[in-house]
């Protein structure tokens, strides 16, 4: 076999090898993009959950205060202290 033919066969083999790898590279790229998008969504959810947790922690701290517990009992549960009377005002 001549030297030119060997180079040609080697070049064709390299092109076939590269050509066979291109679909794999593309699939890997698509998969990477999907994973990046999923990571961004999960990061956003995590941040939202952390914010909600912070709000709950603040509420727990407020509930440790007698004044706040009394306020909640009066406003949301319509509780009164013994001897108190509720006066309702009708708005016209």
**74 class by beta-carbon count within 10 Å (0-12 exposed, 13-18 middle, 19+ buried):** middle
In a 13 Å sphere around the CA of 29, the CA atoms on its Cβ side amount to: 6
Write out the two tokens for 11: 């070049």
Cα first-last separation, the chain: 107
**Mean pLDDT, 10 residues at a time, over the chain (92 residues)?**
74 67 77 95 98 96 90 86 83 76
pTM score over 0.75: no
CA angle at 17 for the pair 6 and 35, rounded to the nearest 5°: 165
């Amino acid at each position: 076999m001549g030297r030119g033919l060997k180079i040609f066969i080697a070049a064709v083999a390299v092109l076939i090898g590269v050509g066979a790898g291109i679909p794999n590279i593309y699939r890997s790229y698509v998969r990477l993009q999907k994973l990046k998008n999923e990571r961004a969504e999960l990061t956003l959810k995590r941040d939202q959950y952390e914010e909600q947790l912070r709000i709950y922690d603040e509420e727990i701290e407020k509930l440790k205060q007698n004044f706040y517990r009394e306020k909640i009992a009066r406003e949301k549960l319509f509780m009164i202290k013994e001897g108190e009377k509720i006066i309702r005002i009708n708005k016209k």
